[in-house]
Amino acid sequence: MTGRDEAAKRSGPFSLEAPIKTILTGDRPTGPLHLGHYVGSLKNRVQLQHQYRTFVLVADMQALTDNADNPAKVRQNVSEVALDYLAVGLDPKVSTFCVQSMLPELAELTMYYLNLVTVARLQRNPTVKEEFRRLQRAPADADEAQLRELEAQVPAGFLCYPVSQAADITAFKAHLVPVGEDQKPMIEQTVELVRSFNRIYGEVLVEPEALIPQIARLPGTDGQSKMGKSLGNAIYLSDPADVVAKKVRGMFTDPKHLRVEDPGRVEGNPVFTYLDAFDPDTAQVQALKEHYQRGGLGDTVVKRRLAEVLEAFLGPIRKRREEYARDPAEVMRLLKDGTDRARQVTASTLSAVRKAMHLDYWP
Ligand code: TRP
């Protein structure tokens, strides 16, 4: 019996009657995962894996959409991301880990979906738009015409990655997609595709729903709204303790809080946002906030508390990661087993899709 079945049994007859819903999420293997990934999505997944049939996809094809010239990096990071999953407590006996490119049905489904979306719609996707600008290093003061020019230079696969993500989600018939706030437009676009598909070919696909946590986005250590690999403002789940301590010491705080006696701002102060996200002692966080706002509490003291809190959180994660990292063959085996199981689901969906599309020429 899997852990999921046990969990279903424990929660009583009610959940036995209701069919178990499916979750699909994933990450691009372009680097190790960071605290932003944890707060935005991993934490939810770890909790939800016991209530839902959970698939976690290492999206290597999606990583290639902006790393086509760097396949070795993507390959290397497939293992890193799998290690991060294991380290935070995604349990391969409960959740199914799988590798996107080893599920050819996902590429096939992407191709069918591309006929159901316009180029203009793809160009309007806010997440893609934001990433375009980063990818093309668009100057902050670029006008619309310049931006359009730059965007046209991006690989077509990158423009289309929301469609491939819709294929990921729907091939698993996922009901729920736990993601960070930045991924919301992807789910919206998936819902549109599902509706078009079902209208034209018949009710085959499931409309998914995004599951976004309360703190949907962790700011970077520099106070920028988003923590990101390419922004150089991330604390990684795999960072050694001294690196974390150093990053915390260098964190952005309230720039107007110059002397200890000065009253400081907690809104938009990432040190407090991180405490809200990671300090289990909420009463103490509240007291620190009040003291900081009143004046008389120095940044160093708050940062020291944050470093402690993060170490209490990351220490066990780091340890588990190191244990799994000793046996890379075992990690690959977990990915392969999961992918084999996932393939049964994606193949079954594709067979229904092909039938609905009149593409079932012979059995
Ligand atoms: N786009 C997601 C990210 O950048 C990764 C991803 C790929 C994904 N396929 C998915 C997320 C399917 C949720 C569901 O992290």
Tell me, yes or no, if the pTM score tops 0.85: yes
Q: Looking at ligand 1, which atom is closest to the CA of residue 164?
A: 9
Give alpha helix (H) positions in 42-103: 43-48, 60-64, 71-88
- For residue 287, the CA-to-ligand 1 centroid distance in Å is 38
Model pLDDT, residue 13: 42
Q: Rg for the chain (alpha carbons), in Å?
A: 22
Per-block average pLDDT, block size 10, for the chain (363 residues)?
A: 50 56 96 94 94 97 96 98 98 97 98 97 89 79 83 90 98 95 93 98 98 85 88 94 96 92 93 96 96 94 96 97 97 98 98 97 88
Nearest residue to 35 (alpha-carbon basis) of 176, 244, 319? 244
Q: Looking at ligand 1, which atom is closest to the CA of residue 174?
A: 14
Let me know: does 322 contact 81? Beta carbons within 8 Å: no
Please tell me the distance from the alpha carbon of residue 38 to that of residue 300, in angstroms, as a whole number. Answer: 25
Q: Is 169 in the pocket of ligand 1 (CB under 6 A)?
A: yes
Mutate to test the pocket of ligand 1, among 23, 52, 57 (most ligand atoms within 8 A of CB): 57
Model pLDDT, residue 338: 98
Model pLDDT, residue 150: 83
Q: Is 59 in the pocket of ligand 1 (CB under 6 A)?
A: yes
- For residue 166, the CA-to-ligand 1 centroid distance in Å is 9
Let me know: does 47 contact 17? Beta carbons within 8 Å: no
- For residue 42, the CA-to-ligand 1 centroid distance in Å is 12
Q: Is 177 in the pocket of ligand 1 (CB under 6 A)?
A: yes
